Amino acid sequence: MKVLALYSIKGGVGKTAAAVNLAHTAAEEGVRTLLLDLDAQGAASFYFRVRARRKSTVDRLLEDRDRVQRAIRATDYEHLDILPAHESFRRLERALDAVKKSRSRLARMLKPQRREYDLVVIDCPPTLTLVAEAVFRAADLVLVPVVPTTLSERTLDMLRREFKEQGLPRERLRAFFSLVDRRKRLHRDMLEDLPRRSKVAFCRSPIPVSSDIERMGLGREPVTRFAPQSAGALAVLELWWEVRRALGMRD
Amino acid sequence: MPQTTFLVPSDLDGESVAAALAGDETLEAEPSREYRVRFFDTFDWRLHRAGRTLQRHDGSWQLIDLDRDAVVAEDPARPGPWPRFAWDLDPDGELRRPLGKLMKMRALLHLVTAGCVRERWVVRNRDAKIILRLALTGFTPEKPAVDTRLRVLEIHPLRGYERPARLADEAATRLGLAPMTGSLLDELLVTVGLEPRGYTSKFRVDMAPTLSAIEAFAVIGRHLLHTIRQNESGLRADIDTEFLHDFRVAIRRQRSAFNHFRGVVDPAALAPYAERLADLGRRTGPLRDLDVYLLDRERYRSLIPAELRDGLEPRFERLAAERGRELAQLRRTLGSAEYRDLMRGWSDFLADPPPGGLAAISILDLARKRLRKRHARVLRDGRAIGPDSPDEALHRLRIQCKKLRYLLEFTASVFPAGEVDDLISHLKGLQDNLGEFNDLSVQRADLRSALASPSGRGQARVQEAAALGGLLTALHARHHEVRDEFAAAFADFADPAVTRHFATLCGKEATGS
């Protein structure tokens, strides 16, 4: 079982859409996938129309593995289940701090899922605190959406230093361009220059800003489902191939 | 929460069943699908007995686990005729190995073909999230064609949405739908009037210990006659070699019963049938011998060095041609008025066999009496065999063992369950040793006579002689090994614990020691 985390310290960069679309694409290939919606806003859960059980609160999930089992629900797609966000996930930071061995807690929580899933995709909350640290430790690959702007470059570098301070391997961190608008000069330049400059490895497939992806919220379906031939969906597919290779999963 | 399955009667409309199961939630039909399935097994249900079936579906051959209703192995279907034997399958495919293990030398027979229409629905909650999947499949048997249609409703729960599935189960029960207990294949077989595992080459009848010996004779005889008749058509159609084998074994068992039940039936009335059945048995011998050779073709080849192997081929080709002639001969026998007359007469005889002096004693008493003697005889003859005893002595012991084995099988049901099985397993070890020894004796004799008059000319003649010589050498070595193993095989059977067990079964002190 491999763990892929979608992480961004900034909101609105296409992180949740990427998590949803990548998870769906993997499942379509027959990879048994669990999407873990840790973002209290619950956008990923919303896309899949799944509500959390009332009792699946963050405190219970952290203390009881059986709770985790019961909190997982099927999506409408084969091979794809989700652990939906519960409103209590807003307290995730505090709850995690309250338990022993907080930093490795998430990794241990996921361990029993090895029997049922080949891949766990985590949609992380936009924080750079204990939760992020726990996710970084649990993940085999931390994938960071980067909108091609100057500010994003600085944020990415901050994250790289954070990884270094925590003693995490740099290979675990990977960036991809998100919300790319090729009509903008700046975007085209950044696409060209940033991967060369940055100490963080970049995926080669940028995800374009796309009306189809924006429409995901209306139809509440992954773009790879309702418009599989759209530029957005095809970009996701190429990104998935790169991620799959980076995770060392079979073609 | 696993999937649940119900049978739906033909007068219930699928859409309204689905609506009832959806309750207050939204029911949405998905596109339905039409396809055809065909099921296959060997005549003696080897796949079914292993909890498997072979299915032709969607352009592929699938080995199905009946309990889990899951595909275990799958090969794409190739154009041309359907595979008959495991060795007809793609050597690199997934099916060849598992099917070969199960089927061995038996052929695949078509069981049932059904045309299917699968209707599907999803049930959505107020968020339009799918919380339950339903499918109703109608199976119309096309071959054999029957008027009844089998309709199977599947309720597929989704993880984390167990409640809607439970409510649907309850709704199905309220509608009076019966849960499907067996596999889909079994339901289909019953629909077309076939009994799953309806044939077995093992002998098994159920008799009360108090049944009179003459009644028991009739029960056993009718069972064996049924086996003979069941194998006739497969034998005449030459589907595989085992029809003849089972046909012959049934005749041999019957002849053995004549001996075990002597005194029970009027000997004068029985004599002509005993004579005619013996004659029928003899007529099937040559074909069976040829079958055994030809089935062993690959094994024989593997026993000799590669460079000698092709030398065996002319011989196998001659044997194959001879087999064709023998088969034609046997077909004529089975098609003759004489054979029909024998079957009819024997069936009438068994309906009301004329009694002999021992007719009225109970089968349990008869069984004990005869088992005691048979067992003692095997022990006595076996103990008399030493390292220097002639092959003939082992051959005679083999026949004694076979008689004892048949008697145990005939009467197993009158003893407490499992008692006889345990004894049979000890006897079987000894029989396996003696059987292999005998086979090797016969094969060596055949090879010697083939060497005495080699066929062909020139180089071909030399090559055949070399191959036969090589084979003879290999068989000779194995023959000695088997002979050496006899002592241990007999010691296991003659073990005091086994002997005591026999004595208990026969209701008397240990015999023959």
Instruction: Identify the CATH number of the domain in which residue B258 sits.
Output: 1.40.20.10
Q: pLDDT tens digits for A183-192?
A: 999 999 999 9
Q: Are residues B258 and B320 in the same domain?
A: yes
Q: What is the pLDDT of residue A251?
A: 67
Tokens of B290: 């040829």
SS3 B118: strand
Beta strands in B125-241 (DSSP E): 130-143, 150-157, 178-179
Q: Which chain B residues are closer than 8 Å to A70 by Cβ?
A: 160
Query: Rounded to an integer, what distance in angstroms lies between the CA atom of residue A141 and that of residue A119?
Result: 11
Find the CB nearest B129 among A49, A70, A81. Answer: A49
Of B361, B377, B393, the domain-final residue:
B361
Q: Are residues B104 and B246 in the same domain?
A: no
Is A50 in CB contact (< 8 Å) with chain B? yes
Asked if residue B432 is part of any domain, the answer here is: yes
Which amino acid type is present at position B210?
A: T
Which residue of B lies nearest to A83 if distances are taken between CA atoms? B160
Q: Which chain B residues are closer than 8 Å to A77 by Cβ?
A: none
Q: Which chain B residues are closer than 8 Å to A71 by Cβ?
A: 160
Of B160, B191, B222, the domain-final residue:
B191
Residues 64-93 of A with CB under 8 A from B: 70-74, 76, 81
Q: Which helix (H) or strand (E) holds A180?
A: none
Determine whether the interchain pair B130/A81 forms a contact, defined as Cβ–Cβ distance below 8 Å: no
Residue A100 has pLDDT above 70, yes or no: yes
Q: Are residues B320 and B226 in the same domain?
A: yes
Q: What is the pLDDT of residue B513?
A: 38
If one counts the domains in chain B, the total is: 3
For chain A, the residue count is 251
ipTM of the complex: 0.89
Determine whether the interchain pair A70/B129 forms a contact, defined as Cβ–Cβ distance below 8 Å: no
Q: What is the pLDDT of residue A121?
A: 98
Closest Cα of chain A to B188: distance in Å? 29
Strand order from edge to edge, sheet including A173-177: A73-74, A80-83, A33-37, A119-123, A2-6, A141-146, A173-177, A201-202
Q: How many Cβ atoms are within 10 Å of B97's Cβ, its own excluded? A: 13
Residues B220, B252, B366, B204: what is their CA dihedral angle, to the nearest 10 degrees? -40
Which residue of A lies nearest to B125 if distances are taken between CA atoms? A49
Q: Which chain B residues are closer than 8 Å to A218 by Cβ?
A: none
Which domain CATH number covers B77? 2.40.320
Asked if residue B197 is part of any domain, the answer here is: no
Q: Are residues B333 and B185 in the same domain?
A: no
Tokens of B259: 């001996």
Q: Are residues B53 and B130 in the same domain?
A: yes
How far is CA B505 from each of CA B2, B131, B413, rounded to the nearest angstrom? 47, 61, 12
Which of A76, A115, A220, A221 is the best substitution to test chain B (most B C-beta atoms within 10 A)?
A: A76
Q: Are residues B409 and B419 in the same domain?
A: yes
Determine whether the interchain pair A48/B161 forms a contact, defined as Cβ–Cβ distance below 8 Å: no
Count of CB contacts below 8 A, A vs B? 27
Q: Are residues B158 and B69 in the same domain?
A: yes
Helices (H) and strands (E) in chain A, counts: 13, 8
Which residue of A lies nearest to B126 if distances are taken between CA atoms? A49
| Residues in CB range of A201: below 8 A, 6 or more apart | A171, A173, A174, A175, A195
Contact assessment for residue B116 and residue B126, using Cβ atoms and an 8 Å cutoff: no
Asked if residue B302 is part of any domain, the answer here is: yes
DSSP result, B268-327: HHHHHHHHHHHHHHHHHHHHHHHHHHHHTHHHHHHHS-HHHHGGGHHHHHHHHHHHHHHH
Residue A90 has pLDDT above 70, yes or no: yes
Which residue of B lies nearest to A81 if distances are taken between CA atoms? B159
Find the CB nearest B128 among A49, A53, A71. Answer: A49
For chain B, the residue count is 513
Q: Which helix (H) or strand (E) holds B197?
A: none
Tokens of B265: 């039936």
Which amino acid type is present at position B440?
A: L
Q: Are residues B96 and B162 in the same domain?
A: yes
Asked if residue B199 is part of any domain, the answer here is: no
Is A154 in CB contact (< 8 Å) with chain B? no
Find the CB nearest B160 among A49, A72, A220. Answer: A72
Which residue of A lies nearest to B133 if distances are taken between CA atoms? A76
Going residue by residue through chain B (513 aa), what tens digit of pLDDT does each one get?
A: 788 999 999 899 999 999 999 999 999 999 999 999 999 999 999 999 999 999 999 889 999 999 888 999 999 998 888 899 999 999 999 999 999 999 999 999 999 999 999 999 999 999 999 999 999 999 999 999 999 999 999 999 999 999 999 999 999 999 999 999 889 999 999 999 999 999 999 998 999 999 999 999 999 999 999 999 999 999 999 999 999 999 999 999 999 999 999 999 999 999 999 999 999 999 999 999 999 999 989 899 999 999 999 999 988 999 999 999 999 999 999 999 999 999 999 999 999 999 999 999 999 999 999 999 999 999 999 999 999 999 999 999 999 999 999 999 999 999 998 899 999 999 999 999 999 999 999 989 988 988 888 777 888 888 899 999 999 999 999 999 999 999 999 999 999 999 999 999 998 644 443
Asked if residue B468 is part of any domain, the answer here is: yes
Of B138, B161, B191, the domain-final residue:
B191
Q: What is the pLDDT of residue B66?
A: 93
Asked if residue B203 is part of any domain, the answer here is: no
**Terminal C-alpha separation, chain B:** 61
Range of the domain at B239: 208-361
Q: Which chain B residues are closer than 8 Å to A76 by Cβ?
A: 122, 129-130
Query: Span A123-132, mean pLDDT?
Result: 89
SS3 B34: strand
Which residue of B lies nearest to A219 if distances are taken between CA atoms? B128
Closest Cα of chain A to B138: distance in Å? 24
Determine whether the interchain pair A81/B159 forms a contact, defined as Cβ–Cβ distance below 8 Å: yes
Which residue of B lies nearest to A49 if distances are taken between CA atoms? B129
Is B126 in CB contact (< 8 Å) with chain A? no
Q: Are residues B466 and B346 in the same domain?
A: no
Q: What is the pLDDT of residue B484?
A: 95
Determine whether the interchain pair A74/B158 forms a contact, defined as Cβ–Cβ distance below 8 Å: yes
Q: Are residues B139 and B255 in the same domain?
A: no
- Tell me B414's DSSP state: G
Q: What is the pLDDT of residue B460?
A: 85
Classify burial at B41, counting beta carbons within 10 Å of its beta carbon; exposed 0-12, middle 13-18, buried 19 or more. Answer: buried
Query: Rounded to an integer, what distance in angstroms lies between the CA atom of residue A228 and that of residue A233?
Result: 5
Find the CB nearest A73 among B122, B128, B160. Answer: B160
Determine whether the interchain pair A76/B130 forms a contact, defined as Cβ–Cβ distance below 8 Å: yes
Q: Are residues B9 and B40 in the same domain?
A: yes
Asked if residue B201 is part of any domain, the answer here is: no
Determine whether the interchain pair B160/A48 forms a contact, defined as Cβ–Cβ distance below 8 Å: no
- Architecture of A2-245 per CATH? 3-Layer(aba) Sandwich (3.40)
Q: Are residues B433 and B319 in the same domain?
A: no
